[in-house]
Amino acid sequence: MSRGRFRSVRRAIRWLHVKFASPGVPERVGLYLHELERSDWDSFQEMVEFFRRQDYSFATVEQYLDTDGGRKVLLSFDDNYRSWFEALDLFDQMDVKGIFYVNSLPLLERTIPEELDAYYDRLGFTGDRTPLRVEELREVAARGHTVGCHTHSHPVLADLNFGDACQEIRRSAELLSDVLAQDVRHFAYPYGMRRHFSEDLRQFCRHQRLTVANGIPAMLHVRPIAQAIQRSPWLISESLKYNVANLCVAGHWFAAATGLSAVA
């Protein structure tokens, strides 16, 4: 099937599901974003206020992993953007805490410009390429947020040999632990889909005592698995209605059949 035809099929499946078979927003909602520019703050506040009206609490990662009932949102951010630091007062005003899955390469004060450009090129990010610095990341943690690791340099782990992939994870966790003077116990793999990770790497993370978060849309209705976090993207440039509808799609059957997500 061509890529264009597949997109059309996926859009049709999403529409039919939302229209006729939606189970609603799940009780546990794992969200991930990337940068959070000032121009996005109004949309971010709208999202927070929506969940608050629906009696969701914004949970720490430990609270989210707890199997006790109650409506919970886990707010997470991936990569390394200075806009996170600039939004700390906004998070305080909204009384939300999040987990920041950080790539450690841009954090190093000695990282050369060419390495930074190559890193942000991998992300496809064309905005302000000033990364977080060590003191800024410490401030993020000091303000009550959790810091997790996201590999050192943001490769596709499935494209590396097993040893190199493990080193990307281990190095990131160790560097961040040294910077923060505390253990880093949570990991999200880059790009987030099944094809970007492996069961062998998941076992490695278990041995390292790291939880593993993915980024697969339409999987929030799957029964929780110990030490695993299902997350769905919140597309800050899209409307609240569009994002909420995506959360209502139970796409695990489609993913099992195709290996792909029912939601773009």
Is the per-residue pLDDT at 16 higher than 90?
no
Distance CA 175, CA 251 (A): 36
State the average pLDDT over residues 112-128: 95
Q: Taking a C-beta distance cutoff of 8 angstroms, is the pair 71, 54 a contact?
A: yes
pLDDT over 90 for what percent of the chain?
77
User: What value does the mean pLDDT take over residues 59-66?
Assistant: 94
- pLDDT confidence of residue 12: 59
Global pTM value: 0.90
Q: Which pLDDT band holds residue 108 (cuts at 50, 70, 90)? A: confident
pLDDT reported for residue 258? 47
Please report which residue ranges of the chain form alpha helices under DSSP H. Answer: 3-20, 41-53, 61-65, 82-86, 88-94, 113-123, 134-142, 162-180, 199-207, 240-247, 252-258
Length of the chain: 264
Label residue 109 by pLDDT band (50, 70, 90). confident
The domains located in the chain, with CATH, are 23-248 (3.20.20.370)
pLDDT at 253 over 80: no
Instruction: Give CA–CA dist 147/150, Å, rounded.
Output: 10
Q: Is the model's pLDDT at 63 over the cut of 80?
A: yes
45: CB partners within 8 A, 6+ apart: 90, 94
Is pLDDT above 70 for 3? Answer: no
